[in-house]
Structure 1
Amino acid sequence: MNINGSVVFVTGANRGLGLAFVKGLQAAGARKIYAGVRDPNIFDVPGVHPIKLDITNAEQVLAAAREASDTNVLINNAGIMVPSGFLGENGVAASRHHFETNFFGTLAMAQAFAPVLQKNGGGALVNVLSVLSWLNIPTIGAYCASKAAAWSLTNGLRNELRANQTLVVGVHAAYIDTDMAKQVQAPKTKPEEVVRLTLEAIESGREEVLSDEITHKVKGELNAELPVYVREWGK
């Protein structure tokens, strides 16, 4: 499908990768862009339609789908990452917190917008995942687990939405140069590059985006004799 002339809904659009998607879509000629943000009053990008949205709020999700009923591309970008392992005092609570947004929030958006996309010709649904869909780092174990679940969700949605002619794209990236990774001392990919690769995938009908060298390397080592996911991170 063509991005030029499309109607796109972006979650988590107020900053970072979400804001980069909004600007990239404008440059690519999207006809209308809806920006899902927690506070529309502080979102000020000319020509973009802000919609109040917390993806963990079922009523707001359904209201967004009603208001943006002409959407033919949904970009599920909203997500959280809070340092937390599994065995600390808050291991269970932190895991629930991550899953509520990164898995259940993404699922809620998919459920609400699937019939909208179908009505508008099928279109595309994009889930922003992570290289950590395939790895687990002790300091952010709960986040990694939620992204692994979101990857499985993406694969399942792809199977269920194929009959609707909806393209489902999973976007995997390592470190992106946004606030989420500001403490990381490692090479980072510009958010604009992730956006470029994602929009190219939508237009060419590709179902997976590997955004950087680290992600390509990890994906390629999943079938190694000593798989990357059982080795110590970075070894």
Structure 2
Amino acid sequence: MSANRTVYLVSGANRGIGLGLVTALASRPNTIVFAGARDPAAQSLKALSAKHPNVHGVKLTLGDKADNEAAVAEIQRIAGQLDVIIANAGVLTHSSGPLAEIPISAFRNDWEINTLGNVILFQTAHHLLLASPSKAPRFAMISSSAASIGTYFPLRVAAYGSSKAAANFLVKVMDQEHPSLISLAIHPGWVQTDMGNHGALANGMPEAPETVEDSVNGILARVDQATSKELSGRSLHSRTPSADLC
């Protein structure tokens, strides 16, 4: 193991923000990047791995304990350490509607993946993560302003927003229970992904206002700056330093 290199795990890495994160990290010196995806053989990841030997695709289905255990074992085998987890994978099952009409199945699915999926990821990886040679391991969950109570905006996505709000709370729990761990919830902005553009169309916009590249740069700036406990346990906007969304 080496404190001179940084080993990342990014979930939901085969497209959108996740793929953008892996692409940006792959170009950094002294890094190993594990790209977690339900299909690690996706063409996007195969092409990236061919260009960057420091990128390794691993099968990682959020909420699937066996997948998580196998992925962490693969990280241990190849790299022998884990320094940063960026928990990006997530789902929005029901795109819009009032609380009285959202199917309960949408709540169950969003909470199973967005909330419990991150619990399983943390429970599976925390021993390796907390043993990071950096002495300051980081767990950054990609959240959403839809989860904010203090800056509530009526997006009509109660299942998704509540699942992310619960996950934000768990980020705070991680911070309190593990003094060496830096845990963050990061709102990526309204990004030009499948999910972001779908929401934009529903609001009369041709596409979401923020590019994947700009969002990724903001997210990684937050992760890079989180080298002490000052920011740990907070929900932050990727582009606005002073914005705390808790």
Q: Same fold (TM over 0.5)?
A: yes
RMSD of aligned alpha carbons: 2.4
Which residue does 2:13 correspond to in 1? Answer: 13
What's the CA shift for 1:4?
7.8
Q: Structure 1 216/80 Cα, relative in aligned 2: closer, same or farther at 3 Å?
A: farther
Unaligned runs of 5+ in 2: none
State how far apart, in whole Å, the 2-side matches of 1:111 and 1:173 are: 24
Matches within 5 A, 1:69-108: 69=76, 70-82=81-93, 83-85=95-97, 86-88=99-101, 91-108=103-120
Q: Which residue of 2 aligns with 1:139?
A: 156
CA contact (8 A) 1:4 1:31 kept: no
Q: Match for 1:56 among 50, 54, 63?
A: 63
In 1, distance between residues paired with 2:120 and 2:141?
Answer: 12
Q: Which residue of 2 aligns with 1:200?
A: 221
Q: Secondary structure, in 3 states, of the residue corresponding to 2:185?
A: strand
Does residue 126 in structure 1 map to residue 140 in structure 2?
yes
Give the unaligned 5+ runs of structure 1. Answer: 223-235
Q: 1:152 aligned to 2:136?
A: no
Bigger shift: residues 97-106 or 173-182: 173-182
Offset of 1:191 from its aligned partner? 2.3
Secondary structure of the 2:141 match is strand
Alpha-carbon separation, structure 2, partners of 1:203 and 1:190: 20
Larger mean CA deviation between 77-86 and 60-69 belongs to 77-86
Residues 188 and 218 in structure 2, CA contact (< 8 A), matched pair in contact too: no
TM-score (norm 2): 0.78
Count of paired positions: 214
Distance 1:40 1:96, change over 3 A: same
The percent of aligned pairs where both chains have the same amino acid is 26
Q: Distance in 1 between matches of 2:178 and 2:30?
A: 23
> Conserved in 2, the CA contact under 8 Å of 1:62 and 1:112?
yes
What do the CA deviations read for 1:11-42 (whole angstroms, capped 9, x no partner)? 00000000010011123335211011111222
